[in-house]
Amino acid sequence: MTDCLKSQKISVSANNLGCFRDQFPIFNEISFSLSAGEALFLRGANGSGKTSLLLVLAGILPYSGKFEIKRFGENQQDIPANQLIHFIGHQNAIKPELTLKQNLQFWAQMYNGDQTSISQILEKARLFGLDNFLAGHLSAGQKHRLSLCRLLLSPRPLWLLDEPTSTLDSQGDTWVSDLISSHLANAGIIIAATHRTIELKDQKKTKSLTMGANK
Amino acid sequence: MNANKMPSTNKPKNWFSALAHPGVFLGWSRHFIRPLIFLTLISFAIGLWFAFFNSPPDYQMGETVRIMYIHVPNAWLAQMVYSIMAISAIGSLVWRHPLADVAMKAAAPLGAAFTAIALFTGALWGRPTWGTYWEWDGRMTSTLVLFLMYLGLVALWNTFSDQSKGARIIAVFTLVGAINIPIIKFSVEWWNALHQPSIISTQGLSMPAEIYTPLLIMTLAFSLLFFTLHLVNMRAEIFRRRANTLERQHVIENAQASAANNGKGENK
Amino acid sequence: MIDLGPHAIFIISSYVGAFLVTAIMIAWVWTNSKNQQARLDDLQRMGIYRRSDKNTPDIAEETK
Amino acid sequence: MRAFLIVIGRDLQLAIKNGGATLTQLIFFISIGVIMPIAIGPDKQILADLAPAIIWIAALLSTLLGLDRLFVADHEDGTLLSLHHASISLTSISAAKIISHWLITALPLILATPLLAVMLFMELPQFLATITALLLGTPALAALGAIGAAISVTLKRGGMVAPILILPLAIPILIFGVSAANSFAGAQTSSSAMLFLGAISLLAVAFAPFAISLALKAAEE
A69: domain CATH number is 3.40.50.300
Q: What pLDDT was estimated at residue A6?
A: 53
Question: Among positive and negative, which fits the CA dihedral C60, C61, C62, C63?
Answer: positive
CB pairs under 8 A between A and D: 70
Query: Any bridge partners for residue A21, and if so which?
Result: A24
Which residues in chain B are contacts of A138 at CB distance < 8 A? Answer: 251
Q: pLDDT of B14-47, one tens digit each?
A: 443 444 467 778 888 888 999 999 999 999 999 9
Asked if residue A192 belongs to a domain, the reply is yes
pLDDT-derived band at D37, boundaries 50, 70, 90: confident
CA B93 – CA D137 distance, rounded (Å): 46
Q: Is D85 on the interface with A (CB under 8 A)?
A: yes
Q: Is residue A30 in some structural domain?
A: yes
pLDDT at C1 over 80: no
Q: Which residues pair with A68 in a beta bridge?
A: A13
**B and C: number of Cβ contacts within 8 A:** 117
Number of Cβ atoms within 10 Å of the Cβ of A70: 12
Cross-chain residue pair B251–A133, CB shorter than 8 Å: yes
Q: d(Cα B73, Cα B117) in Å, to the nearest integer?
A: 10
Q: How far apart are CA D136 and CA D198, in angstroms?
A: 5
Lowest mean pLDDT among A97-106, B208-217, C12-21, C34-43: B208-217
Max CA distance (Å), chain A:
50
CB spacing of A89 vs D17 below 8 angstroms: no
- The pLDDT of residue A56 is above 50: yes
> Do D38 and B141 form a contact (C-beta atoms < 8 A)?
yes
Q: Is the Cβ pair D77, A102 closer than 8 Å?
A: no
Which residues from chain A sit within 8 angstroms of residue D86, using beta carbons? 82, 110-111
- Which of C10, C31, C48 is most worth mutating to test chain B (most B CB atoms within 10 A of its CB)? C10
**Mode of pairing for the β-strands spanning A39-43 and A189-193:** parallel
> How high is the pLDDT of residue B262?
58
pLDDT (0 to 100) of residue B34 = 93
- Asked if pLDDT for residue D157 goes beyond 60, the answer is yes
**Considering only A93-102, B81-90, B228-237, C55-64, which range has the smallest mean pLDDT?**
C55-64
Q: What is the pLDDT averaged over residues B99-115?
A: 93
User: Angle at the Cα of B23 (from B19 to B28), degrees rounded to 5?
Assistant: 155
Q: Which residue would you say has higher pLDDT here, C20 or D70? A: C20
For residue range D52-111, list pLDDT tens digits in order.
999 999 999 998 887 877 888 888 888 998 999 888 899 999 999 999 999 999 999 999
Gap between the Cα atoms of B112 and B115, Å rounded = 5
Q: Which long-range contacts (CB under 8 A, 24 or more apart) does D181-185 make?
A: D181/D51, D181/D52, D181/D55, D181/D56, D181/D126, D181/D129, D181/D130, D181/D133, D182/D49, D182/D52, D182/D53, D182/D126, D184/D125, D184/D126, D184/D129
Question: CB distance from D157 to chain A under 8 Å?
Answer: no
| Cβ contact D173:D204 at 8 Å | no
Distance of residue C60 Cα from the nearest chain B Cα, in angstroms: 10
The answer to whether residue D36 scores a pLDDT higher than 50 is yes
Residue A75 to residues A1, A78, A79, B133, D20, Cα–Cα distance (Å): 17, 7, 8, 69, 48
Q: What H or E segment, with its residue span, contains residue A210? A: strand A206-210
pLDDT for B183 equals: 82
pLDDT at D187: 55
B110 to chain C: which residues are within 8 Å by CB?
Answer: 25, 29
Determine, for residues B132 and D42 on separate chains, whether the beta-carbon distance falls below 8 Å: no
Query: From CA D53, how far away is CA D181, in angstroms rounded?
Result: 9
The reply to whether ipTM tops 0.90 is no
Residue of B227, B196, B234, B199 lying closest to B213 (CA atoms): B199
Residue A145 near residue A103, CB atoms below 8 Å: no
| Residue in A60, A98, A150 closest to D84 by CB | A60
Judge whether B71 is closer than 8 Å to chain C, CB to CB.
yes
CA distance readout (Å), B25 to B92, B136, B171, C33: 16, 43, 21, 15
pLDDT at residue number C58:
38
* Higher-pLDDT residue of B11, D11: D11
Are residues B178 and B145 in contact, defined by beta-carbon separation less than 8 angstroms?
A: no
Subunit contact A127:B254, Cβ cutoff 8 A: yes
CA-nearest residue to C34 within chain B is B236
pLDDT in tens, A108-149: 988 888 888 888 888 888 888 788 888 888 888 888 889 999
- What pLDDT score does B11 carry? 41
Q: Burial of B13 by CB count in 10 Å (0-12 exposed, 13-18 middle, 19+ buried)?
A: middle
Q: pLDDT class for B186, splitting at 50, 70, 90?
A: confident
Nearest to A155 by CA among A177, A186, A201, A128: A186
Q: Which residues fall within 8 angstroms of residue A17, CB to CB, at 6 or more apart?
A: A27, A28, A29, A30, A31, A53, A56, A63, A64, A65, A66, A67
| pLDDT (0 to 100) of residue D183 | 59
Q: DSSP letters along B5-65, please?
A: GSGGGGHHHHHHHHHHHHHHHHHHHHHHHHHHHHHHHHHHHHHHHHHHHS-PPBTTTBTTH
User: Residues of A with CB below 8 A from D10's CB?
Assistant: 98, 106
List the single residue in B13, B16, B63 with the smallest CB-CB distance to C11: B63
Structural domain range at position D86: 2-220
Q: Name the band, by pLDDT with cuts 50, 70 and 90, for residue B79.
A: very high
Closest residue on chain D to A98 (Cα): D14
Distance (Å, whole) CA A131 – CA A102 = 8
Beta bridge partners of A162: A193
Coil, helix or strand at residue A192? strand
Number of domains in chain D: 1
Is B262 within 8 Å of chain A by CB? yes
CB contact under 8 A, B134 and D18: no
φ, ψ of residue D157 to 5 degrees: the values are -105, 45
Residue among B245, B154, D73 at smallest CA distance from A134: B245
Contact: C48, B246; criterion CB under 8 Å: yes
For residues B201-205, average pLDDT: 48
Question: Which chain B residues are closer than 8 Å to D34 by Cβ?
Answer: 141, 144-145, 148
Q: Compute chain A's Rg from CA coordinates.
A: 17
Domain that holds residue A184: 2-210
Containing H/E element for D51?
Answer: helix D44-65
Give dist(CA B90, CA B93) in Å, integer. 5
The rounded percent of chain A whose pLDDT value lies above 70 is 91
With an 8 Å Cβ cutoff, is B250 touching chain A? yes
Which among A100, A126, A139 is the top mutation candidate for probing chain B, defined by the most B β-carbons within 10 Å of its own β-carbon?
A: A126
Q: DSSP 3-state assignment of C43?
A: helix
The least confident of C15-29, D114-128, D150-164 is: D150-164
Please state which of the ranges B18-27, B198-207, D193-202 shows the lowest mean pLDDT: B198-207
What is the band of B1 on the pLDDT scale with cuts at 50, 70, 90?
A: very low
Calculate how close chain B gets to D209, using CA atoms only, in Å: 29
Q: What is the pLDDT of residue B12?
A: 43
D19 has a pLDDT exceeding 50: yes
Predicted confidence (pLDDT) at residue B264 exceeds the cutoff of 70: no
Into how many domains does chain A fold? 1
Would A56 be classed as within a structural domain?
yes
Torsion on CA atoms B16, B18, B23, B25, rounded to nearest 10: 170
Q: Is residue A115 part of a domain?
A: yes
Quick check: is A215 in a domain?
A: no
pLDDT at B8: 39
Neighbouring subunits of B (3+ Cβ pairs under 8 A):
A, C, D
Tell me what pLDDT residue B15 has. Answer: 41
Under the banding of pLDDT at 50, 70 and 90, the label for residue B193 is low
- D88·A110 Cβ contact <8 A: yes
CA dihedral A192, A195, A197, A203 (to 10 degrees): 30
Least confident of B8-12, B65-69, B134-138, B162-166: B8-12
In this prediction, residue B17 carries a pLDDT of 41
Mean pLDDT of A175-179: 86
Query: Do the chains A and B touch each other, judged by at least 3 C-beta pairs below 8 angstroms?
Result: yes
For residue B236, give the chain C residue with the closest CA.
C33
Tell me how many degrees the CA angle A33-A36-A40 measures, rounded to the nearest 5.
Answer: 50
Quote the radius of gyration of chain C (alpha carbons, Å). 24
> Best residue in D14, D22, D25, D27 to probe B by mutation, most B CBs within 10 Å?
D27
More confident residue, C46 or D13: D13
**What mean pLDDT, rounded, does chain B reach?**
80
- Cβ pair A50, A30 in contact under 8 A: no
* A→D interface, C-beta within 8 Å: 55, 58-62, 82-83, 85-87, 89-95, 97-98, 102, 106-107, 109-112, 150, 156
DSSP string, A43-112: E--TTSSHHHHHHHHTT-S--EEEEEEEE-STT-TTS-GGGGEEEE-SS----TTSBHHHHHHHHHHHTT
Domain residue spans in chain B?
32-198+207-244
| CA D69 – CA D73 distance, rounded (Å) | 6
Q: Of B175-179, C46-50, D201-205, give the lowest mean pLDDT range.
A: C46-50
Using CA coordinates, name the residue in chain B closest to C3: B63
